[in-house]
Structure 1
């Protein structure tokens, strides 16, 4: 299989998480699903914890993409 077709779900998850993070920072509220909205002014520490967790997920997805393109492509396939 080609690398791009294998990484398509990772790219989609990466784009979705970027959109969610951008929307959360733009509106200063995190929509947790099932109608739950976390506002920055109601619980600032929990809000920033969720934002940091979203950044960690984006970093993990970026590490998977980096690994697939730059590290695995340089190894000899047997």
Structure 2
């Protein structure tokens, strides 16, 4: 059964990205849990992922679902900046 999620939003009260499909079913990605194993070069680098979740929740989910995705995203971000 394929799920077609049509709405992606960041829920600040839960620090989570919520995806809602056409039937109203929700999938919640808890950002704290998703980022638990990510290592940051600087403590303030945590904002990289917070901004991604807030501004581009669909991209956050796409990156988070890949093996090593969030860590790879942070590593590339640090290389480019």
| TM-score band w.r.t. shorter chain | under 0.3
Larger radius of gyration: 1
Q: Which has the higher strand share?
A: 2
- Structure showing the higher helix proportion among its residues: 1
Q: Looking at both structures, which has the greater relative contact order when contacts are Cα pairs under 8 Å and sequence separation is at least 6?
A: 1
